Amino acid sequence: MPNSRTMPRVTTIDTGYLDHAEMTAAYLVVDGKEAAFVETNTTHAVPRLLAALEQAGPSPEDVKFVVITHVHLDHAGGASALMKACPHAVLLAHPRAAVHAIDPSKLVTSARQVYGDEAFDTMYGSIEGIDKRRVRALGDGETFTLGNSTLSVMHTRGHANHHFCVLDPSSGGIFTGDAFGLVYPAIQDGGRWALPSTSPTDFDAAAARDSVQRIVGSGMGTAYLTHYGGFSDLSAIGGQLDEQLAAYGAIVDDAMASGVDGDALDDMCRQRVAAIFDRYLTTPQRKQAVQPGGLLTLDLDLNAQGVAFAVRKRRFKAAKG
């Protein structure tokens, strides 16, 4: 086993999601003889996570926790497989996420309807329920111990209502899931560009902006983003996200005021979101990322869908009074 004094506390693991390098990360946190994973990506990524664990020194029996920031499948799709491989681990999740970790049938059914069975299996593999006795739901501010350290969670709405971030004072890091946007290394050639994730079905611009500010003000020195890696310039990233989230919120407000609906609403949101992306696509490498099959094509589509969904959701609530 490697000397624990030289073992990094936090290891970034490239999960190889959708065959893109440095698109989606999981993290291994080691404290003494105990280890925890933060995020799992998909079932297909589990061998990569276990290989990183072996490289670090602990065994699967030493994994105390598997932590998911939320249950979107690029973050938690591999949780059941990883829990099988780590027999003593407890899954930590937001209370609303814990329900779906125990019974993922609604998530799986919905995703299969969107992608089709063949594509779903290719992207995510098998997803099973986790024994409720091995799942612990954490409220806002609750803590858990790993080795000699205490970590806590902070509920962060805006991207998903079942989302939390994980604060690790011992490393000075905060694991932000999707609440602190996406900072893909491959598109940083023109300077820092962080973009928000506004995918369906819970996007709320005001809540997302509040979560960004809470992360910036958390006192942590490094933000560990699931997409992708650790960054120390929290104020700069937060400022970029706040500016863009305000623009996304304006799209929702404008659509509400215009009354546009149906395909016209989808088209409007797609065009407005694409214009926000285009504002930052200032280098050939960035422009290539939004072409078909590029790194940003999925995010562009999901962000547009999330904004349109937010409009319809607000209208539905208004109609109900």
Residue 310 lies in a domain: yes
pLDDT confidence bin for 227, thresholds 50/70/90: very high
- Give the end of a domain, one of 239, 274, 296: 239
Convert the pLDDT of each residue in 141-198 to its tens digit.
999 999 999 999 999 999 999 999 999 999 999 999 999 999 999 999 888 999 999 9
Q: Same domain for 287 and 234?
A: no
Sign of CA dihedral 121, 124, 125, 126: negative
> In this structure, are residues 65 and 92 in contact, taking their beta carbons and an 8 Å threshold?
yes
pLDDT confidence bin for 7, thresholds 50/70/90: low
Which are the contacts of 162, defined by CB distance < 8 A and separation ≥ 6? 70, 71, 93, 94, 95, 96, 97, 100, 202
pLDDT confidence bin for 114, thresholds 50/70/90: confident
Q: Same domain for 76 and 213?
A: yes
Domain enclosing residue 300, as ranges: 250-320
Q: Same domain for 233 and 260?
A: no
Residue 304 lies in a domain: yes
- Calculate the CA 26 to chain-centre distance: 10
Q: Same domain for 228 and 256?
A: no
Edge-to-edge strands, sheet with 25-31: 10-14, 25-31, 34-38, 63-67, 90-93, 135-137
Q: What is the pLDDT of residue 6?
A: 55
Residue 201, preceding peptide bond in cis (omega within 30° of 0): yes
Q: How many domains does the chain contain in total?
A: 2
Q: Same domain for 125 and 225?
A: yes
**Two tokens at 131?**
């024994």
Beta bridge pairs of residue 223: 174, 231
Convert the pLDDT of each residue in 76-106 to its tens digit.
999 999 999 999 999 999 999 999 999 999 9
Q: Same domain for 190 and 302?
A: no
Mean pLDDT, the chain, rounded, equals: 95
Q: What is the pLDDT of residue 2?
A: 43
Q: Same domain for 285 and 147?
A: no
Residue 245 lies in a domain: no
Q: Same domain for 196 and 66?
A: yes
DSSP 143: E
> In this structure, are residues 65 and 72 in contact, taking their beta carbons and an 8 Å threshold?
no
Residue 296 lies in a domain: yes
- Give the end of a domain, one of 213, 239, 265: 239
Q: Same domain for 202 and 309?
A: no
Residue 244 lies in a domain: no
Residue spans of alpha helices (H) in the chain: 46-56, 73-76, 79-85, 95-102, 105-115, 117-124, 205-216, 234-258, 262-280, 284-289, 297-320
- Give the end of a domain, one of 239, 273, 308: 239
Q: Same domain for 45 and 120?
A: yes
Give the SS3 label for residue 128. Answer: coil
Q: Same domain for 109 and 218?
A: yes
pTM of the model: 0.96
Residue 94 lies in a domain: yes
Q: Same domain for 56 and 194?
A: yes
pLDDT confidence bin for 3, thresholds 50/70/90: very low
Residue 1 lies in a domain: no
Residue 4 lies in a domain: no
**Two tokens at 76?**
């938690």
The full DSSP string for 259-306 is ---HHHHHHHHHHHHHHHHHHH--SHHHHHHTSTTSTTHHHHHHHHHH
Pairing of strands 222-225, 229-231: antiparallel
Max CA pair span of the chain: 63
Looking up residue 99, the CATH number of its domain turns out to be 3.60.15.10
